[in-house]
Chains A and B, each alone.
Chain A
Amino acid sequence: MHTVDYSFLQALWFILIAVLWIGFFVLEGFDFGVGMLLRHVGHTDSDRRAILHAIGPVWDGNEVWLLTAGGATFAAFPLWYASMFSGFYLALFLVLVALIIRGVSFEFWGKDDRPRWRATWEWTMVIGSFLASLLFGVAWANIVKGVPINAQQNFTGSLFTLLNPYALLGGVTLVLLFLSHGAIYLNMKTAGDLPERARGVARWASPAAAVAGIAFLVWTVINMTDRTGASLAVAIVGAITAVLLATAAVSELVRRPGIAFGISTAAIAMLFVTLFVDLFPNVMPSSTSARFDLTIANTSSSSTTLTIMAIVAAVMVPIVLAYTAWTYWVFRKRISPEDFDLTTKNPFDLVGSGGSGAGPDAGGAPAG
């Protein structure tokens, strides 16, 4: 078919996958951050329940961005998917472990009120959230930097290849960014003592994230093999990111939590925009030889598959965004530990949801 169309489709899918990853990081980023802060910001069971409820309705949907990014990579760039997932084998195993222990803690935590039970599922939440953040940072730094890949497109390194200083800085950056992002989210979404404690975290985490993030950006630019034009683009988006990070660092001073959260979101998004601009048109450069670089051209599906999936995405993404936005709107209220003080004694009694108000007031718009 038309080769121009084909390379356009490949570029389009690169952008779409970038969007999915960015969506994942800005959304799940705050619930990773909140997860890490569960015990630090929440002191009592009521506090912790309020914190879990601040992300409870949305975390699972947030995680679907990751599944979609994975599925889209498989569909659009199967050779990239195959090399990346088999190459990052043990790292991804640890990611899976982290996501599993953290995912079930939402469900298990409230099922019993013995202190040891609660503590167990709090720690799985904290550790799982931390480990996932760290590993995603390490993984993406490695993807951008390049890893040993042979002529058969197979990764020839080990887990320790991935643990290089640049990648570790990427991991630390993401942990700090998500801590700050989560703290800013809690400041916006909770009531009582929690926002003040969350701001206390943001006061150190945001500047630390800015320092690490800017160092990471500088290193990223230094690492770049010279590609005129691309270097300039990376320098520009990198500079915007740096400004945003610096702004986020002091945004705790802004007394408008929503604005602070917006800046934090933009900073995380721009950091990944920088990485993706740097990456393009590669998807995973080879540190062994530039000839073995994985690119959008040598890893993609056929133009038929890319076209069909583009149509599916064009129809579905707006619908998904619409109902996701709507649910965030429904859950816009702040959540206070005081809401739970009475009921924490017997959490089992009030679970599920009976739809008990049915009948008389049926119909009508969301009450909000």
Chain B
Amino acid sequence: MTALDLARLQFATTTIFHFLFVPLSIGLAFYVAVNQTLHYRTGKEVYARQVQFWGRLMLLSFAVGVVTGIIQEFQFGMNWSEYSRFVGDIFGAPLAMEALIAFFLESTFLGFWIFAKGRVSPRTHLTSIWLVSVGSILSAFFIIAANSWMQHPVGYKLVRGKPQLDNIWAVITNNTAIAAYIHVIMAAALTVSLVTIGVAAHHLRREHQVDTFTTAIKVALPILVVGAIGSFFAGDQLARLLVKQQPMKMSAAEALFDSEAPAAFSVFATGDFTANPGHTNRNLKIPHALSLLATRTWDGKVLGINQLQEQYVAKYGPGNYVPYVAVVYWSFRIMVYLFGAMALFALVGLILWRRGRLATSRRFQLIAIWMAITPFIVNTAGWVMTEVGRQPWIVQGLMLTKNANSPLVSTAQVAGTLIGFTLIFTVLGGVALWLFLREARKGIHDAPLTPDGADVPDLTLSY
């Protein structure tokens, strides 16, 4: 492997690991804020217990998410110095804005929320968790805007071959960024609702704290439904933008090697075991479905990988412009199929709620526990498709990944840090998962929240 390959592997490793925690943290901050608001409004203790229980899990998720987030900002410079030089005039701005506008807000008020209880009024305390939620939701916007610029560069002019910022508003309101942002926030909604429902179902199956955990599901289900509907429409929008902006990614995601009109959606395809097999061996298809998805017409034409490759060669010169087809194809399948399962699960949940059987349906509870894993797979698959599908470009149409890494950072250095990060992530991930499951299994604390009716300065004694 070359330093470039290892740098790519390192980016994949650190980003995937980081992003296991990001949607969970964003989601849990929102979920805790909703529960704390419900408690503030109704005064019902059951909501206070939710805050206490889920708050602990939120802090665990934030802790790992925050420390692994620092790597993200550093590694653009460390491993991708040529990239940083090339795009810095545009790409750095959203990162700096993210820190100034979102990270300060999120971090300051997270610390505040943990420790200020009892020192400030309940309203101020409630405000602080909302500021954490707003900060985390905002931070996603800036990083998605930065990433979307790599997918669909806008608002720039080329000066001596390098992109220079021309219109920041165009960068911020990039249609790709808006669709991808909504998609990611909705993914966070799916993540938190499925995780909370899964944990609650674990307890309901053991008839443990039934009221509290039924309430947990009732708060989570609407979030799940909104997340399912929202990510469907945002994803659909994103797919149509892809056809225009990154047609190669879309065709690779469909293993569509030759142009079709009408185009069929591939359900299950196999091909030779190479990066670009050139054709599928077996392909089960739904006629017209891809035309509908991509062009909103019954017979619309969708370009195939082979034709796009020819177009790209004509436009950008000789080279291979096809990503690993199987990786893009299967990551897209995993995302879409598991999403289908989530949507179905949401529907079943709603029906059971209507019939008053959330606390009693054993089968629903068993499925719910397993569903808690799916968002992490789906989130990862979504990013794999997004990033691998853009290859060989690091910035679509402007810069190739092979020209972007740090020229004087040696293979040994990248290998060493890759091994180091992997070891740390294994330990960190293991400890975090162990603690998360242990805390989750423990259930919600039963003893009175406020002994003697006094507002104890419960200085978050997990610290």
Contact partners of B81 in chain A: CB under 8 A: 82-83, 85-86, 154
Give 1 or 0 for each of A347-368: 1 = CB within 8 Å of chain B CB. 1111111111111011111111
Flag if A352 contacts B78 (CB, 8 Å): no
Flag if A110 contacts B461 (CB, 8 Å): yes
In the assembled complex, A8 has its CB within 8 A of some CB on chain B: no
Which of B55, B66, B73, B121 is close to A366, meaning CB atoms less than 8 Å apart? B121
Flag if B77 contacts A363 (CB, 8 Å): no
Flag if A350 contacts B114 (CB, 8 Å): no
Which of B99, B118, B407 is close to A154, meaning CB atoms less than 8 Å apart? B407
In the assembled complex, B462 has its CB within 8 A of some CB on chain A: yes
10 pairs from A and B in contact (CB 8 Å cutoff): A53-B115, A71-B73, A82-B85, A100-B68, A308-B168, A317-B100, A343-B461, A348-B462, A350-B458, A351-B56
Interface-side segment among A182-190, A224-232, A299-307: A299-307
Besides A330-B116, A353-B460, 19 other CB < 8 A contacts?
Answer: A58-B111, A59-B111, A61-B111, A63-B70, A68-B104, A79-B85, A81-B88, A86-B78, A89-B413, A103-B66, A104-B431, A309-B96, A312-B97, A340-B461, A349-B445, A351-B461, A352-B53, A353-B52, A358-B48
Task: Among B48, B408, B428, find the residue whose CB has the most chain A CB atoms closer than 10 A.
Answer: B408
Contact partners of B112 in chain A: CB under 8 A: 57, 327, 330
CA distance A106 to B456 in the complex (A): 22
Q: A61-B107, A64-B99, A100-B428 are in contact. Are A108 and B121 (CB under 8 A)?
A: no
Which of B45, B121, B407 is close to A367, meaning CB atoms less than 8 Å apart? B121
Least Cβ distance of B37 to chain A in Å? Answer: 9
Interface-side segment among A33-41, A90-98, A248-256, A263-271: A90-98
Task: Among B59, B81, B114, B431, find the residue whose CB has the most chain A CB atoms closer than 10 A.
Answer: B81
Q: A68-B103, A78-B85 are in contact. Are A356 and B96 (CB under 8 A)?
A: no
Flag if B164 contacts A71 (CB, 8 Å): no
Main secondary structure, interface of B, reads: helix
Q: A74-B76, A76-B92 are in contact. Are A351 and B63 (CB under 8 A)?
A: no
Flag if B123 contacts A64 (CB, 8 Å): no
Which of A110, A324, A358 is close to B122, meaning CB atoms less than 8 Å apart? A358
In the assembled complex, A109 has its CB within 8 A of some CB on chain B: yes
Interface residues on B, range: 35 or more
CA distance A74 to B77 in the complex (A): 8
Give 1 or 0 for each of B93-136: 1 = CB within 8 Å of chain A CB. 10111111101110111111111111111111110000000000
Which of B55, B104, B115, B449 is close to A64, meaning CB atoms less than 8 Å apart? B104
Q: A86-B81, A350-B461, A362-B122 are in contact. Are A107 and B63 (CB under 8 A)?
A: yes
Flag if A355 contacts B431 (CB, 8 Å): no
In the assembled complex, B207 has its CB within 8 A of some CB on chain A: no
Give 1 or 0 for each of B59-89: 1 = CB within 8 Å of chain A CB. 1100110111011011011110110110111
Least Cβ distance of B86 to chain A in Å? Answer: 9
Least Cβ distance of A197 to chain B in Å? Answer: 21
Q: A60-B66, A106-B463 are in contact. Are A354 and B92 (CB under 8 A)?
A: no
CA distance A49 to B460 in the complex (A): 11
Q: Which 7 pairs from chain A and chain B are nearest by CB? A: A78-B88, A85-B77, A75-B92, A74-B92, A107-B63, A352-B52, A352-B55
In the assembled complex, A155 has its CB within 8 A of some CB on chain B: yes
Task: Among B39, B88, B111, find the residue whose CB has the most chain A CB atoms closer than 10 A.
Answer: B88
Flag if B124 contacts A366 (CB, 8 Å): yes
Flag if A359 contacts B40 (CB, 8 Å): yes
Least Cβ distance of B245 to chain A in Å? Answer: 24
Interface size on A, residues (CB 8 A): 93
In the assembled complex, B183 has its CB within 8 A of some CB on chain A: no
Which of A56, A312, A359 is close to B96, meaning CB atoms less than 8 Å apart? A312
Task: Among B52, B67, B164, find the residue whose CB has the most chain A CB atoms closer than 10 A.
Answer: B67
Flag if B103 contacts A96 (CB, 8 Å): no
**Closest B residue to A90 using CB positions:** B413
Q: A56-B463, A100-B70, A351-B462 are in contact. Are A356 and B120 (CB under 8 A)?
A: no
Flag if B104 contacts A61 (CB, 8 Å): yes
Least Cβ distance of A296 to chain B in Å? Answer: 14
CA distance A21 to B450 in the complex (A): 43
In the assembled complex, A84 has its CB within 8 A of some CB on chain B: yes
In the assembled complex, B338 has its CB within 8 A of some CB on chain A: no
In the assembled complex, A6 has its CB within 8 A of some CB on chain B: no
In the assembled complex, A99 has its CB within 8 A of some CB on chain B: yes
Flag if A362 contacts B119 (CB, 8 Å): no
Contact partners of B449 in chain A: CB under 8 A: 354, 356
Give 1 or 0 for each of A303-331: 1 = CB within 8 Å of chain B CB. 01100110011001100100110010011
Give 1 or 0 for each of B8-46: 1 = CB within 8 Å of chain A CB. 000000000000000000000000000010011001010
In the assembled complex, A3 has its CB within 8 A of some CB on chain B: no
Which of A84, A86, A108, A155 is close to B435, meaning CB atoms less than 8 Å apart? A108
Least Cβ distance of A51 to chain B in Å? Answer: 11
In the assembled complex, B90 has its CB within 8 A of some CB on chain A: yes
Question: Which chain B residues numbered 135 to 174 have a C-beta less than 8 Å away from chain A?
Answer: 159, 164-166, 168
In the assembled complex, A338 has its CB within 8 A of some CB on chain B: no
Flag if A330 contacts B120 (CB, 8 Å): yes
**Closest B residue to A121 using CB positions:** B431
**Closest B residue to A159 using CB positions:** B413
**Closest A residue to B72 using CB positions:** A67
In the assembled complex, B261 has its CB within 8 A of some CB on chain A: no
Least Cβ distance of B303 to chain A in Å? Answer: 35
In the assembled complex, A193 has its CB within 8 A of some CB on chain B: no
**Closest B residue to A332 using CB positions:** B119
Flag if A344 contacts B96 (CB, 8 Å): no
Which of B43, B68, B462 is close to A111, meaning CB atoms less than 8 Å apart? B462
Least Cβ distance of A124 to chain B in Å? Answer: 11
In the assembled complex, B257 has its CB within 8 A of some CB on chain A: no
Q: A355-B126, A366-B121 are in contact. Are A61 and B52 (CB under 8 A)?
A: no
Flag if B111 contacts A344 (CB, 8 Å): no
Contact partners of A83 in chain B: CB under 8 A: 81
Contact partners of B287 in chain A: CB under 8 A: none
**Closest B residue to A366 using CB positions:** B120
Flag if A68 contacts B96 (CB, 8 Å): yes
Contact partners of B51 in chain A: CB under 8 A: 352-355
Contact partners of A362 in chain B: CB under 8 A: 40, 121-123
Contact partners of B55 in chain A: CB under 8 A: 351-353
Least Cβ distance of A41 to chain B in Å? Answer: 17
In the assembled complex, B280 has its CB within 8 A of some CB on chain A: no
Contact partners of A85 in chain B: CB under 8 A: 74, 76-78, 81, 84
Which of A70, A353, A361 is close to B73, meaning CB atoms less than 8 Å apart? A70
In the assembled complex, B341 has its CB within 8 A of some CB on chain A: no
**Closest B residue to A327 using CB positions:** B112
Contact partners of B340 in chain A: CB under 8 A: none
